[in-house]
Amino acid sequence: MVHLRIVVPADRCGKVLDLLETAPSTTNLVFLAGAARQPKGDVVLCDIAREDASVLIDDLKEMGVARDGSISLEQIDSQLSDAADRAERAAYGKPSNAVVWEEVEARTSENTELGGNFLIFMVLACLIASVGIFLGSPILIVGAMVVGPEFGPLAGFCVAVVERRRDVARRSLAALAIGFPVGITAACLFTLISKATGMLDADFSGSMHPLTQFISKPEDFSFIVACFAGAAGMLSLTSAKSGALIGVLISVTTIPAAANIGVAFALADWSEWRGAMAQLAVNLTAIVLAGVVTLSIQRRLFELRRRRHMDDESRAIAGLPNGSARSAHR
């Protein structure tokens, strides 16, 4: 279930209550007249089955609630209520398969910001991967994959492509275009310092450690695994549970490849440098392609559900036009 806190102008509150009270997938409806002060209006609280959350929020947007008031969402982890169980049964589909698009937009918008923390995590991840390359340690390589923050902007770009949001696309591309060069530069400088101080052998080469050579030798399976990971990442992002995201981060070698670009450049190992560049390009391309396809399918399913809802009785009772395919989501 999803909990909504709605601040609605008093002149529209009756229609909002009619909509939510009539929809079979809502429960625990609470009305607080004149409770809101900024912005002024009435407060409506309710719980909605996750499957119908975005559909009904679209109706609220169509009424101008988001423009003149506010709509806040919270995920309900546990709820003991027969009424809530009935509401979930009334919604078509399974909660685990449902996508709350407002939730997805909020997650990706937060993760696409280019800020100090993002750059610090990129630098630290590339430095950890650099040490993993020096020592030939797959454990450190995996650790660098987990620390790396690059999946956030990649996911944000996929959402931006599917929803045609240029602002999110620009922020995502800016984070990637600046974050990766900063991380690569950090890996390059760290390698030069390590070599100058004697921590790294003068004749070191990445080919000396066969256990980590996979990060600079792209092959067919590199593209395939990155596609699988991109699809899994999008499903994790859009689902109620996101535990699979850690596995996604470990599945692709974007951060190790970026670090190896810096290491190989510092050592003038151009064969390794070209291989790492190719590996990074393959991974980024595959993740974006798979992510866009996965989100497009989910978006298409939502639009079909939205069209079916347009003739729902709750819309007629709330005074909304029936039979229209127009969506207020974007």
CATH number at residue 15: 3.30.70
Domain-located, residue 201: yes
Helix, strand, coil % over all residues of the chain, rounded to 5: 65, 10, 25
> In the chain, pLDDT over 70 holds for what percent of residues?
91
What would the mean pLDDT of 93-117 be, rounded to a whole number? 79
What would the mean pLDDT of 158-186 be, rounded to a whole number? 93
Closest C-alpha among 221, 273, 265, 257 to residue 132: 257
32 and 51 together in one domain: yes
Q: Hey, which of 70-79, 96-105, 115-124, 313-322 has the most confident mean pLDDT?
A: 115-124
pLDDT given at position 255:
92
What pLDDT band is residue 328 in, cutting at 50, 70 and 90? very low
pLDDT given at position 209:
63
Domain-located, residue 317: no
| Residue at a domain's end among 98, 125, 144 | 98
What would the mean pLDDT of 90-100 be, rounded to a whole number? 78
Q: Which segments of the chain are extended strands (E)? A: 2-8, 26-37, 40-48, 70-75
Distance (Å, rounded) from C-alpha 274 to C-alpha 266?
Answer: 13
pLDDT given at position 251:
63
Domain-located, residue 326: no
pLDDT at 10 over 60: yes
pLDDT at 244 over 70: no
Domain-located, residue 320: no
What would the mean pLDDT of 194-199 be, rounded to a whole number? 90
127 and 10 together in one domain: no
pLDDT at 63 over 50: yes
Domain-located, residue 309: no
Provide φ and ψ at 40, rounded to 5°.
-70, 140
pLDDT given at position 249:
61
pLDDT at 247 over 80: no
251 and 288 together in one domain: yes
8-state DSSP, 95: G
170 and 264 together in one domain: yes
Domain that holds residue 47: 2-98
- Euclidean distance between the first and the last CA atom of the chain, given in angstroms as a whole number: 23
Domain-located, residue 278: yes
Least confident of 46-50, 257-261, 268-272: 268-272
8-state DSSP, 42: E
Provide φ and ψ at 293, rounded to 5°.
-65, -45
198: domain CATH number? 1.20.1080
What would the mean pLDDT of 278-302 be, rounded to a whole number? 92
Cα–Cα distances in angstroms (integers) from residue 24 to residues 84, 182, 307, in the given order: 10, 52, 17
Residue 59: how many other CB atoms lie within 10 Å: 23
Number of domains in the chain: 2
pLDDT given at position 330:
46
Domain-located, residue 327: no
pLDDT at 240 over 80: no
What would the mean pLDDT of 1-20 be, rounded to a whole number? 93
Q: For residue range 21-45, what is the model confidence (pLDDT) as tens digits?
A: 999 999 999 999 999 999 999 999 9
pLDDT given at position 329:
47
Tokens 């819309």 -> residue: 315
72 and 216 together in one domain: no
86 and 115 together in one domain: no
